[in-house]
Amino acid sequence: MKIPLQISSRKFTLTPRLANVIKEKARKLEQFYDDIIACRVMVETPHRHKNQGLLYNVRVDLTVPGDELVVKREPSEDVYVAVRDAFDAARRQLLTYRRRRRPDLKARKPNPEAASQDMGQIASLFSDQGFGYLTSFDGKQIYFSKSELLESDFENLEVGRLVRFTPIEEAGAELRASGITPV
């Protein structure tokens, strides 16, 4: 996450154990979509009902490029169940968002040993044909098409612009960039 996790509580004292559970669940969300900008979590206890015990509401707000995903689940009598249900719903929304944004990408298991993205800069653009080349910091020329951009319009790119990308090697073909994000 680009902005640190924000956890708050209302009418309820947040225990260190609960805060750690929330931090771990938020960290796991990054395995499903690594471009989360911010995550805010609110745990609250609304007023007591006559016929029910103390209920807990959990709200998770995720800021992602171009959108904000909000999860608010039904109240639960167990705060840990409420947190679990809210983060499960957030994970489902995040996967739906990712599929909607990039339907051509399949889900991949994260590889902790490999860096998720490389850095480079735009070397040349062919706007009328919808493709270009970028140069990675290790000097390789890498092809990309406008369909590989995650956040920006192809027309707004310029030669020399820094970008993050995922290199893809195809058998017998030139190196190709995927998931391009201007820095």
Indicate the SS3 state at residue 87. Answer: helix
d(CA 181, CA 69): 20
| CB count in 10 Å sphere of residue 102 | 14
Indicate the SS3 state at residue 100. Answer: helix
Domain architecture of the chain: domains with CATH: 6-101 (3.30.160.100), 118-182 (2.40.50.140)
183 residues of the chain, pLDDT tens digit each: 788 899 999 888 889 999 999 999 999 888 878 788 899 999 998 766 555 678 889 999 999 888 889 998 778 888 899 999 999 999 988 888 888 876 555 544 444 434 446 788 888 888 888 888 888 887 888 888 887 877 666 777 888 888 888 888 765 667 888 888 887
Q: How many helices (H) and strands (E) would you count in the chain?
A: 2, 9
